[in-house]
Structure 1
């Protein structure tokens, strides 16, 4: 009898340890907000460079896209962890429209009728797959940023560059076919 009580308490303690993932959720959401703010500063600096200094702000816009994607990775990761370990409410199955719009809008502007497809995460492997897709996009943007600075002087350089573009395109094609 005592062993059964200890087993029940141990199971409850172990199950409640899932709330430790709130630290990771909060950290990644704060990091996501910081990335979005940093991306906005890159966009503002790009416009200032273009309009005030008559420069070219394309490199800053590419960096902003890179930082926005990193923020998106952190957002998806945080929301996925919350969905996997903490949340036991299913907004999509909510029957009351008032409850749904109160939970899922921004000052009444963006009412969601159902849960977004990208947030339907059933396992850690699914979360890793979604994060992998976004990380590949981050790498491709990094490749695009580096390719703008690359000097193509010889036919070998051109061949290597075109091979790199072909491999990147193939990677995106394969990712689109995976589910």
Structure 2
């Protein structure tokens, strides 16, 4: 009888520890809310660029680059939040869900765009894979930041122009190599 109680205690401890995975829901929710805020802020930059078009056309490009930067940050937060959900909270098996779910019950945008299967970018099987996906988006953010900074640099000599072009080339080459190392084409 004492053996059964010890086993019951071990099972209940495992259940408690396994239930702690739902704490990642806080990170998921915060990340998704942050993503929504980033997309709203990006839209504000786009609207502001339309308003500035007739007044100061030079500022329009800067506002649109800022919008792209904010949209990418929102995408990072979205991918991170969905990846956390997929890794720790979701109990869906992709092969099982494809055979059992009805297409009309799948995720869609107000019933207009029904997804027949889970998007490949959402299938996260490990924390390492999630970090790799986030790394790609972060490198892209850094590349856009470099482009933004390069527009503000005053070029006074051929050496300045060469340094800027080499830095943009190396950054783009790093993004290309990162995508090739991961096997995504």
Q: What TM-score results when the alignment is normalised by the length of structure 1?
A: 0.93
Q: Which residue of 95, 100, 119 maps to 2:99?
A: 95
Q: 2:162, 2:56 → 1: CA distance?
A: 34
| Contact preservation (8 Å) 1:91, 1:100 | no
Q: 2:98, 2:103 → 1: CA distance?
A: 7
| Contact preservation (8 Å) 1:28, 1:77 | yes
The corresponding residue for 1:79 is 82
Q: 2:104, 2:22 → 1: CA distance?
A: 26
Structural mapping, 1:91-130, within 5 Å: 93-95=97-99, 99-130=102-133
| Contact preservation (8 Å) 2:107, 2:115 | yes
| Contact preservation (8 Å) 2:106, 2:116 | no
Structure 2 residue 128 is matched with structure 1 residue 137: no
Instruction: Look up the SS of the partner of 1:34 in the other structure.
Output: helix
Q: 2:48, 2:7 → 1: CA distance?
A: 64
The corresponding residue for 2:159 is 156
- Number of residue equivalences: 177
RMSD of aligned alpha carbons = 1.5
The gaps in structure 2 that reach 5 residues or longer are: none
Q: 1:91, 1:105 → 2: CA distance?
A: 17
Structure 2 residue 4 is matched with structure 1 residue 28: no
The corresponding residue for 2:6 is 3
Measure how far apart 1:103 and its partner are: 3.2
